[in-house]
Amino acid sequence: MEAIGLPSLTISCSNFQLRKVSNISKRTHHYCTSLELSALKLSPSCTTHLLHRSTIRMQADSEDYELKQMKDMAAARKRWEALVREEKVKVLTPREAGYAIQLTNKTLLDVRPSTEHKKAWVKGSTWIPIFDVDDKFDAGTLSRQITSFVMGGWWSGVPTLSYNNQFLSKVAEKYPKDTDLIVACQKGLRSLAACELLYNAGYRNLFWVQGGLEAAEEEDLIREGPLPFKLAGIGGVSEFLGFTDQQRDAAAKEGWGYRLMFSARLVGVFLVADALFIGAQQVGHYLRDIRSP
């Protein structure tokens, strides 16, 4: 599931969770404290005691943090449902969005991150991401990136994302407040967050693409880019091996040739893993022979 946030939030998309900036600084403080322990001249028992207390405190913070994330997401969903229910944001299917773009020259605003947009985009659309890849190299970002990778990013290929502080200003530069804007993302959640921000900024003619571009069939929208819309949001090891739902659906349509390609990749992975295991064993035997008199 995509995680959504507002300007004061950052996002980690391995499991699509909302993160408060204050929590990031708090975690960084605990991390730095544990590193500084090694530089202090403390007795082993004192160091162990402090590390134990630091670990317990970090676990408690993590539990509170997860609970707050759940509450934030539930509150956000209620706000978005109200926007749609009160018709402050109109709902379009991908096919209806395609008709609107072709027949009425409405603008499609693509709010997806660069990793998804570069794979497939709607012809003539405007790309202004509400979240984009966080490639900074500070301690907080690196910590989030490591956590994202360990918690499933290696499998899903979803990068760590941060809120784009220039989102509203860039939209305002291109479009006046009375413009008809069709807002779309990959699965339909981040675009709802964008609609809320735009509505609060004064935009009143907003249309939300329900289900996102992933729900579009190829004939619904004029696509540009190397991949179908349905495959633009996948990545990582799961994409390489063809283990995503989107790829299984494509395999059912494409036939055996498509399936054989990913089967060959899976066999290749097992062969490489086996070769590495045998190689490690041989190196171990060689090192033991060197050490033996």
Q: 82-115, pLDDT tens digit by residue?
A: 999 999 999 999 999 999 999 988 999 999 999 9
Place of tokens 């202090």: 40
Identify the pLDDT of residue 3. Answer: 39
C-alpha span between 213 and 227 (Å, rounded): 12
Which residues are identified as catalytic? 185
Calculate the alpha carbon distances from 163 to 8, 208, 283 in Å: 8, 20, 47
**What is the C-alpha separation between 76 and 82, in angstroms, rounded?**
10
* Confidence at residue 256, expressed as pLDDT on a 0 to 100 scale: 65
Q: pLDDT digits over 47-82, tens only?
A: 455 445 555 554 555 556 567 778 888 898 899 999
* Per-residue pLDDT at 137: 66
Q: Which stretches of the chain drop beneath a pLDDT of 50?
A: 1-44, 46-47, 50-51, 58
- Is residue 183 within a helix (H) or strand (E), and if so which, with residue range? strand 181-184
Judge contact between 242 and 251, C-beta under 8 A. yes
Whether this model's pTM surpasses 0.75: no
Q: Which residues contact 52 (CB under 8 A, 6 or more apart)?
A: none
Q: What is the pLDDT of residue 70?
A: 82
Give the DSSP letter string of 29-98. Answer: HHHHHHHHHTTS---HHHHHHHHHHHHHHHHHHHHHHHHHHHHHHHHHHHHHHHHHHTTSEEEE-HHHHH
Q: Is the Cβ–Cβ distance between 90 and 206 less than 8 Å?
A: yes
Instruction: Please give, one letter per residue, the 3-state secondary structure of 127-175.
Output: ECCCEEECCCCCHHHHHHHHHHHHHHHHHHCCCEEEECCCHHHHHHHHC
